[in-house]
A and B are shown apart, each in its own frame.
Chain A
Amino acid sequence: MAEISVDIMAFGILKDTLGHDWFVWKHPEPARVLDLRNWLKQFPTIHPQLPIAVVFDQTYQPDDYEIKDGMKLYLMPPVSGG
């Protein structure tokens, strides 16, 4: 089965809870945003109630969005500017 590999950059509290701001995520095809969210559940340092947004192409992507090989994604906790 083919596998995708994407670069992911984490922001805010996620950067600290994951232990790094950049990492590579690999997953068998097809991979969707929901798969990435489920994968993140394995980290006990991430609060289970923390909403996490997945961004590609400067747009918040829904759970069923397909992640393709080579994409660069951003993981974002709730925003807190202003």
Chain B
Amino acid sequence: MSMLQHFSISSEPVNADAIKAFVQEVSTGATVIFEGIVRPDDMGDQEQVASIEYEGLPEMAIKELEKIAVQLQSQFEIQSIYFHHLLGKVAVGQTAVWVGISAKHRKDAFGALDVLMDEVKKTVPIFKKEIGQENSTKWVVPTLQNEKK
């Protein structure tokens, strides 16, 4: 079964209404729109994250996202998927990643969203650096305990 899909990585934010319009181009029973927002996490030494700077390899990222989409299609009955990730500096409270998924049924839409985000954090070449209120920086490395720079 074919699926409508859009993957993009850039320094330009997108409009959530445009995502909704995209995923609802197909007749659907459930639409899930997700926004990943930068949190004011604790960086230690009483400093909080003020922004996150993202860098990555967009062409390869899209290739990896296409592989994930194939996996999602084998696991869930989804009709469309939209994914956009920002590169560059994103302030606390602002959206860094947008996802839209449509499916006939809610469980497939939510399930696919959950797996998609898990897989993005395994293979899609995007890297983030936390920037604190006092301008300390710390690369986020999931497998290591990070050290403040």
On whether A11 and B57 interact (CB within 8 A), knowing A47-B144, A50-B144, A77-B141, the answer reads yes
B142 contact set on A, CB distance < 8 A: 78-80
- A80 near B57: Cβ-Cβ < 8 Å: no
On whether A12 and B141 interact (CB within 8 A), knowing A80-B127, A81-B127, A82-B97, the answer reads yes
Interface size class of A (residues with CB under 8 A): 20 to 34
A70 CB–B CB distance under 8 Å: no
B125 contact set on A, CB distance < 8 A: 11, 55, 74, 76, 79, 81
A24 CB–B CB distance under 8 Å: no
Of chain A, the residue at the smallest CB distance from B60 is A58
- What is the interface of chain B mostly: helix, strand, loop, or mixed? mixed
- What is the interface of chain A mostly: helix, strand, loop, or mixed? loop
Interface size class of B (residues with CB under 8 A): 20 to 34
A13 CB–B CB distance under 8 Å: yes
B120 contact set on A, CB distance < 8 A: 79, 81-82
A28 CB–B CB distance under 8 Å: no
> Which positions 6-39 of chain A face chain B at CB distance < 8 Å?
11-13, 16
Taking A13-B141, A50-B141, A81-B128 as known contacts, 7 extra A-B pairs with beta carbons closer than 8 A to each other, sorted by chain A number, are: A49-B144, A58-B63, A77-B139, A78-B143, A79-B126, A80-B127, A80-B140
Listed in ascending order, the chain A residues whose CB lies under 8 Å from chain B are 11-13, 16, 47, 49-51, 55, 58-60, 74, 76-82
